[in-house]
Amino acid sequence: MSSLLLAALGGLALGAAFPPLGWWPGALVAVALLWWALRPDHAGWNALAGLVFGCVFFLPHLWWANLATEEAPWIALSVLEASFLALFGAAWTWVRRGITVLLRGGRVPSGAGWWAAVAFAWLFTGVEELRAQVPFGGFPWARLAWSMVDVPLGRAAWLGSSVLVTFGVCLAGLGLAGAVRALSVRPLTRRSAGRAAAAVAIAAAVVVGPAALPLPADPDAGTVTSGDGVPVHDAGQGTAEDGVLVAGAVQGNVDDPGEGVFGFRPELFGNHITGTHELAGDLAGQLDIVLWPEDSSGIDPRTDPGEAAALDAAAEAAGAPILVGSQEYPETGGRYNTALLWEAGQGVTQRYAKQRPAPFGEYIPWRPVVRLLSDQVDRVTTDMLPGGEPAVMEVPAEASGGPGATVPVATVICFEVAYDDIVRDAVGRGAQVLVVPTNNAPFGWTSESTQQLAMTRMQAMTTGRAAVQVSTVGVSGVVAPDGTLVAATELFTHDTFAARLPLRTTLTPAVLAGPWPGWIAAGGAGLLVAAGIAAGVVSRVRGRRRRT
């Protein structure tokens, strides 16, 4: 039972590493506790320990899903994600047992070794990558990496994306475990003390070493200038390679609606129109684009003459196109979650539809079957369809670049910021800035929006691009290319701001590597498991032969 207690404590420690607490060492402690919890040489028991670890972590971490839906979907999602930790627990048993057979003639050691640490970290990273891909396109929320945005280790994303950061968290946590084990030996000897010091040194090097990586940084990032009230934030324009994009952003807000903004759409649209005119009153002619959040118009403005006229007037006043979040209902059924570029007098000139709708939140897989488990599936009355185009728009930038100037911008909608491949693809296609329009209203006063902002910050580091997260009700934020959080708004407040975003064309090693870090992590984990099982089978066969 002590292993289950350790697993539960590990889940609690991991939860502390993420918002709202944001105590990042908790992630290292969690890895160490999970290592100790999985010491028994029993796959079934370790699967149970992994499940306990996962449930204790995911249930509170994903509490916002309960607020947005009901208890059954929240519990189902949490247990589904925790099941990957159960898989990890069983797989680690097989890997450790099999490799031990190959290296040590069949004796399963209780202590740590370099081979065990690397194998554990690789396997965990591979299982996390699997969780980010399956089922239904995966759910990469709560990667270990997202907890590291304020730590030098987070900068390793520039080199190998979130995959490398998670691997580093595991190694550092296992260094902590090794140090504690060395110090627990009685009597304490100079040799064991030296081992503890070496383990701590390795962990510290993993955590601090990425500070030396050459991420684009500007010491003046965060400088604020303003006219009569709208702040203009410098998002590291000293790192610009191709000029700047001046973007205004509107967080329109509604009073806390509890279950989202769907009953408040006219008010929400009006608040964003008002915010755009606030920007225009201070920065007319100085903006290249005005950013609105996901679902900020509520309906397709192309189908509503009143909305279209209001958007025209607002864009004309600001002297810039507006990126509008909308819902589009094709005649063939279903709906698209879209970002529309609205230009005065022209209407929609570009469109992006969300590629990766959230299962059970925006569409219901296996609806007839799932309805048998919970009638909450009927809260999603119209399933969202996946878009088929990359998340890139060519945005007019005449205020900064002159007549005819355009800038490729990544328009990654809401949860898509958690998917490395969508962001990487947009930047690989030329995007020089990241924009993340999101609607956090269904999640109330939970930490969902700050969890998401951490992902936006790490994607900025991964790609070397400045970013703006713009939300209906908060938290919105401006991020420099090195992940520095330049500015952030509060939840459920009306806010307008602008940012001078550096335009960058250099592709980071993480972008150039493409999907390879994830493939190596998942493929290597699969090989470890296969080798472990095979070695175990060979060992049992040899044992039977010796007995006969």
Task: Compute, in degrees rounded to 10, the torsion defined by CA atoms 239, 244, 245, 249.
Answer: 50
d(CA 444, CA 441): 6
Strand 477-479's sheet: what is its strand order?
Answer: 392-396, 406-411, 433-438, 467-471, 477-479, 485-488
Q: Tokens 């992994």 identify what position?
A: 50
Long-range contacts at 16-19 (CB < 8 A, ≥ 24 apart)? 17/147, 18/61, 18/142, 18/146, 18/147, 18/447, 18/451, 18/454, 19/447, 19/450, 19/451, 19/454
If DSSP codes are grouped into helix, strand and coil, which group holds residue 502? strand
Asked if 440 and 456 touch (Cβ cutoff 8 Å), the reply is no
Q: Are strands 477-479 and 392-396 parallel, antiparallel or unpaired?
A: unpaired
Strand 336-343's sheet: what is its strand order?
Answer: 224-226, 231-234, 495-502, 244-251, 289-291, 322-328, 336-343, 347-353
Which listed CATH number (3.50.30.30, 3.90.950.10, 3.90.550.10, 3.60.110.10) goes with 224-355+391-505? 3.60.110.10
pLDDT at 255 over 90: no
Query: Can you give the pLDDT at residue 136?
Result: 87
Query: What per-residue string of b and e applies to 249-281 under the rule 16 or more CB within 10 Å gives b?
Result: bbbbbbeebeebbeebbebbbebbbebbbbbbe
Query: Can you give the pLDDT at residue 112?
Result: 44
Q: Please list, in sequence order, all residues whose beta carbon lies within 8 angstroms of the beta carbon of residue 445, skipping any fewer than 6 positions away.
A: 256, 491, 492
In whole numbers, what is the pLDDT of the chain averaged over residues?
Answer: 90
69-109, pLDDT tens digit by residue?
A: 777 778 888 999 999 999 999 999 999 887 776 665 544 44
59-72, pLDDT tens digit by residue?
A: 999 999 888 777 77
Average the pLDDT over 309-331 and give the result.
95
387-419, pLDDT tens digit by residue?
A: 999 999 999 998 888 888 999 999 999 999 999
Residue 226's pLDDT band, with cuts at 50, 70 and 90, is confident
431-463, pLDDT tens digit by residue?
A: 999 999 999 988 889 999 999 999 999 999 999
Residue 68 main-chain phi, psi, to 5 deg: -80, -25
Asked if 273 and 279 touch (Cβ cutoff 8 Å), the reply is no
d(CA 494, CA 472): 9
d(CA 222, CA 479): 9
Query: Can you give the pLDDT at residue 276?
Result: 97
In percent, the amount of the chain with pLDDT more than 90 equals: 71
User: What's the whole-model pTM score?
Assistant: 0.93
Of 496 and 544, which is predicted with more confidence? 496
d(CA 98, CA 91): 11
42-56, pLDDT tens digit by residue?
A: 999 999 999 999 999
Residue 256's pLDDT band, with cuts at 50, 70 and 90, is low
If DSSP codes are grouped into helix, strand and coil, which group holds residue 403? coil
d(CA 349, CA 311): 13
Residue 316 main-chain phi, psi, to 5 deg: -65, -45
Domain positions in the chain are 2-214+514-547, 224-355+391-505
Of 536 and 221, which is predicted with more confidence? 221
